[in-house]
Amino acid sequence: MGRRIINRRPGKGGALFWGALPFLAVLVLYVTFSALRLAENPNDKLLPAFSTIADTLHRLAFVPDSRSGQVLLWADTASSLTRLGLGLVVSTVIGLVLGIGTGLIPYVRAGLSPFIAVLSLIPPMAVLPILFIVFGLDELSKVVLIVIGIAPFLVRDMAMRVEAIPSELVIKAQTLGANTWQIVTRLVLPSVWPKLMDSLRLSLGPAWLFLISAEAIAAQDGLGYRIFLVRRYLAMDVILPYVAWITLLAFLMDWALRYANRRLCPWLERGAS
Amino acid sequence: MSRVTVDNLWMEYGDQVVLERVNLDIPSGEFCALVGPSGCGKTTFLRLLLSMEAPTRGTIRVDGEKLSPEPGPDRGVVFQRYSAYPHLTVEENVILGLEFARAPLFGKLWGSAKRQAQDEVASVINAVGLDHAKAKYPAELSGGMQQRLSIAQALVRKPRILLMDEPFGALDPGTKAQMHDLVRELWRAEKMTVFMVTHDIKEGFGLGTRVLAFDKVRVDPDEPQAYGATITLNLPLEDKAERAQVVQL
């Protein structure tokens, strides 16, 4: 009798093979269809050959642009990451301060919790025009869009995490003589820190979404700006490597947050629970 | 000194009466075992002693003074679960009480102040037999070790009253016996007034110097929530030699 399918597991090599399979499949499909289309029309722009992409990438990443004198890929990356980083840092600070406040202090919860619940239901893209009108078309409005997009989620998530701390631990801290601020620094912050890292990882997707949307609409540089700029020339040889590059950046940020979590919270990996 | 007097205490949630007419006068140093069936207000009574909740009627006094309305370092506590802080090592868990007292700004000691605190808690950690596990996190400890850690943690601020809610309920019999010896020793040394909720009547009589049994004396079959539990038996175990040594009558 063979085992049930839910009990069959791939080995180490098998897992690697099955993991690589979808990537290989996409690659093979792309190469095949690209070759077919190019054989029919050598000027086809939709599925450029890898050699064309490599040439374009070389120009973008190593040759200064004739008009601005900047190397486009790095200039775009720098401005996008600055906006994204600022947005994430500001959102994290807001998430921690308001989240711990509403989760721990009944008066803050009574005052802010309904307001934040309503605020988090506003679709951020719908207020983008307001942001452009109020904060102008430069950096600030893009950062604010990211903050409006992810801070309410972080605040509510942090508040829930704080409320989920067993009341025994909070009571015990009081019997050890802790004041409210000490409870925050020694109990609440370390308890919610790993959850904050997880929530930030989940927020990376929306953060990129809002960044690229804002850049697509009004910007002079940035990864999203470039993609939407060259769209009108059907420049897939630029768009595809840019998308791959954004994906790689997002993956690295996700990995970095996970790594930081493991390093800063050693108790998570020690022991049974 | 910490004589606990309870005067006509009632605890009601809406129209549900949990405790009624509780009157007690516990001399300083008494080891009280709270026994009784489930849902008879033992834990509620402990929560009132800890100021986790306020009684609807009546007062609790310690040495004649009304109980503070919130938990404080005068009353230590050992819970059955979630006893120690999972993100701190054994030593950090025990030092925490000293850090709260000495580092008002962040509750954390550094440098020589930290080393001094570490020296101070070494004896407590030794007393509960965790000196070899100082650097471990609670998740790496067995259930008995976690409870010993929790006791050491509670004792660091030298509370006058120690409250324990089924502290050994989840332990195996062998570990339980060890814990009994440990708690008895610490109680004798510190001369605290102890309130311990337990399901195990044998444990209550073995460890306590006074047994308090909670039960409902009045039951209305149509309205079971109309009457609460009270203390039906308040029995000082006067023949225990250690009672005469520790309890200040």
Q: For the domain that residue B240 is a member of, what is the CATH number? A: 3.40.50.300
Same structural domain, B37 and B138 = no
Same structural domain, B166 and B67 = yes
Characterize the bridge pairing of strands B193-197 and B75-78.
Answer: unpaired
- In angstroms, what CA-CA distances link B131 with A97, B91, B116, B124, B152? 38, 9, 16, 9, 11
Same structural domain, B17 and B48 = yes
Q: What pLDDT is stored for residue B196 in this prediction? A: 95
Using the beta-carbon criterion (under 8 Å), do B100 and A173 form an inter-chain contact? yes
Enumerate the H helices of chain B as residue ranges.
42-49, 90-102, 111-127, 143-155, 173-190, 201-207, 241-246
Same structural domain, B57 and B90 = no
Using the beta-carbon criterion (under 8 Å), do A270 and B70 form an inter-chain contact? no
Q: How far apart are CA A45 and CA A56, in angstroms?
A: 13
Q: Residue A101 has which token pair? A: 């406040």
CA angle A59, A24, A46 (to 5 degrees): 45
Burial string for B142-176 (b: 16+ CB within 10 Å, else e) reads ebbbbbbbbbbbbbbbebbbbbbbbbbbebeeebb
B162 in reach of chain A (CB within 8 A): no
Using the beta-carbon criterion (under 8 Å), do A182 and B153 form an inter-chain contact? no
pLDDT digits (tens, 9 = 90+) for A191-221: 999 999 999 999 999 999 999 999 998 888 9
Q: Residue B35 has which token pair? A: 């026994």
Of B72, B86, B141, the CB nearest to A174: B72
**Chain A to chain B Cβ contacts (< 8 Å):** 93
* Mean pLDDT within A178-187: 94
What ipTM does the predicted assembly reach? 0.90
- In angstroms, what CA-CA distances link B2 with B51, B53, B120, B167, B193? 16, 20, 25, 22, 7
With tokens 């073995």, the residue in question is B206
Residues 6+ apart with CB under 8 A from A219: A79, A142, A225
B137 in reach of chain A (CB within 8 A): yes
Same structural domain, B169 and B248 = yes
> Which residues from chain A sit within 8 angstroms of residue B46, using beta carbons?
none
Same structural domain, B137 and B58 = no
Using the beta-carbon criterion (under 8 Å), do A185 and B107 form an inter-chain contact? yes
Q: How far apart are CA A236 and CA A247, in angstroms?
A: 16
For residue B65, the cross-strand partners are B62
Q: Are B6 and B58 in contact (CB under 8 A)?
A: yes
Q: Residue B151 has which token pair? A: 């006791």
Residue A31 is given by DSSP the state H
Q: Give the domain extent around B24.
A: 1-74+160-249
**Sign, CA torsion A141/A147/A148/A149:** positive
> Which residues from chain B sit within 8 angstroms of residue A181, using beta carbons?
105-107
Q: How far apart are CA B182 and CA B178, in angstroms?
A: 6
- Residue among B112, B50, B76, B58 at smallest CA distance from B231: B58
Burial string for A222-231 (b: 16+ CB within 10 Å, else e) reads bbbbbbbbbe
Q: What pLDDT is stored for residue A223 in this prediction? A: 93
Q: How far apart are CA A201 and CA A198, in angstroms?
A: 5
Same structural domain, B195 and B207 = yes
For the cut 50, the answer to whether the pLDDT of residue A185 exceeds it is yes
Interface of A with B (CB under 8 A): 166-169, 171-179, 181-182, 185-187, 190-191, 265-267, 270-273
- In angstroms, what CA-CA distances link A126 with A151, A160, A213? 16, 27, 12
Q: How far apart are CA B106 and CA B99, in angstroms?
A: 9
Where among B99, B123, B158 does a domain terminate?
B158
Q: What pLDDT is stored for residue A271 in this prediction? A: 66
Where among B111, B142, B158 does a domain terminate?
B158
Q: pLDDT confidence of B95, banded at 50, 70, 90?
A: very high
CA angle A252, A218, A221 (to 5 degrees): 50
Q: What pLDDT is stored for residue A272 in this prediction? A: 52
Phi, psi angle pair for B37, to nearest 5°: -65, 165
User: Coil, helix or strand for B31?
Assistant: strand
Q: Are B208 and B230 in contact (CB under 8 A)?
A: no
Q: What pLDDT is stored for residue A56 in this prediction? A: 92
Amino acid, single-letter form, for residue A50: F
* Mean pLDDT within A24-30: 96
Mean pLDDT of chain B: 90
Amino acid, single-letter form, for residue B48: L
Q: Are A219 and A213 in contact (CB under 8 A)?
A: no
pLDDT digits (tens, 9 = 90+) for B120-173: 899 889 888 898 999 999 999 988 899 999 999 998 888 999 999 988 887 888
Using the beta-carbon criterion (under 8 Å), do B71 and A179 form an inter-chain contact? no
Name the domain count of chain B: 2
Same structural domain, B166 and B235 = yes
* Mean pLDDT within B23-34: 93
Using the beta-carbon criterion (under 8 Å), do B157 and A191 form an inter-chain contact? no
User: Of A218 and A158, which is predicted with more confidence?
Assistant: A158
Same structural domain, B12 and B95 = no
Q: pLDDT confidence of A273, banded at 50, 70, 90?
A: very low
Where among B158, B182, B217 does a domain terminate?
B158
B20 in reach of chain A (CB within 8 A): no
Same structural domain, B151 and B176 = no
Phi, psi angle pair for A142, to nearest 5°: -70, -45
Same structural domain, B37 and B50 = yes
Same structural domain, B177 and B141 = no
User: Of A84 and B2, which is predicted with more confidence?
Assistant: A84
Q: Residue A127 has which token pair? A: 């207020």
Using the beta-carbon criterion (under 8 Å), do A271 and B81 form an inter-chain contact? no
User: Coil, helix or strand for B174?
Assistant: helix
Instruction: Out of B43-47, B113-117, B215-219, pick the least confident.
Output: B215-219
